[in-house]
Amino acid sequence: MSYAFHIDKLAAKTIKSLDKQTKKRLHARLTELALNPHDPRISSQVIMGEREKKSRVGNWRIFLK
């Protein structure tokens, strides 16, 4: 089973301005999250968020709702 995700306009604009290596790493993580966003190796529960998760790629954070 695969999941769909949405990247808002500001995030897409920010991603476009990043260096090539960081873009590749973010793309790879988004691909992993689309396959299984509940995998504890790549995402963790947000402390104050009821059903929200986060994933870290270097200094960048990806928040899943």
In a domain, 2, yes or no: no
Q: How long a stretch of residues is the chain?
A: 65
In a domain, 3, yes or no: no
What is the number of domains present in the chain?
Answer: 1
pTM over 0.85: no
**What pLDDT does 49 receive?**
74
Low-confidence ranges of the chain (pLDDT < 50): none
| SS3 (DSSP) at 51 | coil
**What pLDDT does 65 receive?**
82
**What pLDDT does 60 receive?**
93
Alpha helices by DSSP H, 7-65: 9-16, 20-35
Backbone torsions φ then ψ of 64, nearest 5 degrees? -110, 135
In a domain, 49, yes or no: yes
Structural domain boundaries, residue 54 = 9-64
